[in-house]
Structure 1
């Protein structure tokens, strides 16, 4: 049993484990939501391995990528794919394994955006996508739910400036807008059947300010676990929320404006 504030989710198999990915734009609120989950005994959080990206053979690959996308994007995204697969494949010790982003997000948002902007040429893009497709055929990451924190680029830009990470100084509002478009095309568009691991998608409003909504993350956690229960046949408790649902690739995608 996973107990939360107003929701209890019972699983038919006591040792059943689930993987939930939190996806969204830069500074959309992913790590803050994961930090909230990490305070619960039933969940473990797997954050993006930024520390690895900042020290690759003594070089800050993340910083180099932002400084010169044409030179470093292919190497950086290739390393991101490797390190995110390591996160995906880590042994799970608790009922809920919460991931900050996924290999899918790197492929369908960041790599697509780099290709559209010209930072990846066709040869680099082809090498990456062929490598990604081979991984998906041989070691496809399994997810039970993708949570998309739909956050406006303007809000992301403000939060990014507030956290003042050195490597992100050059990140512009236009760049965040282009990434937002990629996320909307991948996870936010009900007519788009882009492959995302064949799992349900839950869309949450990421613009809300935690300081103005005291119970915001607890409410989000309730919604996430209710939808996990609804989507998974090994869970017995259906959701109690009134949400908008529509089919996507045989699954269910939900919009919840909290």
Structure 2
């Protein structure tokens, strides 16, 4: 979906330039000196979510070359914390509007946020958020997990799947916490995962289940893995697990896996 939008926007240089000019204020609002604290995006910039969400997602995408490990550079980490806090604030406001609508289980406003986010997201955006979800910074983990849990889908779930197959997660306590975070995120997609994603989730679940075993230190992780198993089993041969991932998304996942493997160790073989 985001690829199509990019293709449509290209011929209209004036419109693209105008969008870039509008987004400049979000770049400025999230910039600062890390040692002086994380910049807070002014509330006035968050009122129009049709502007704020695309600009903040584009900003996060631009951090992808700098954030290539859970140990984020201080300047990029500060900007990411600022942007994700702003997105989290928008999500909270949208959810509050749903709660005040008077309609039980209303998610109309939150779904508006999700749609705006997905229109601009891609594997680069989810890569940045995935590194943050397994980082040593608590607020980065919290913000990113809350966002990913709402926006993750079949087009981008391959990213946290790849990270879950990185043995480095076992080397630190925050990495182990990050693993539980990422398992919770991929569980969202499990009941409607396409063929390649379904296979990768099941393979990852089986490997990690064998690794954690009955170790009491991994009680939470084991619970999440059991939940993933149940959610995968809710699918049948007539559901998405038999449907191939569309070509452009399959290619994006394969390219991401190849690039990740070039820098990190990952286990498992995937069908992307």
TM-score, with length taken from structure 2: 0.31
Of Structure 1 and Structure 2, the greater strand share is in: 1
Of Structure 1 and Structure 2, the greater helix share is in: 2
Higher relative contact order structure (alpha carbons within 8 Å, sequence separation ≥ 6): 1
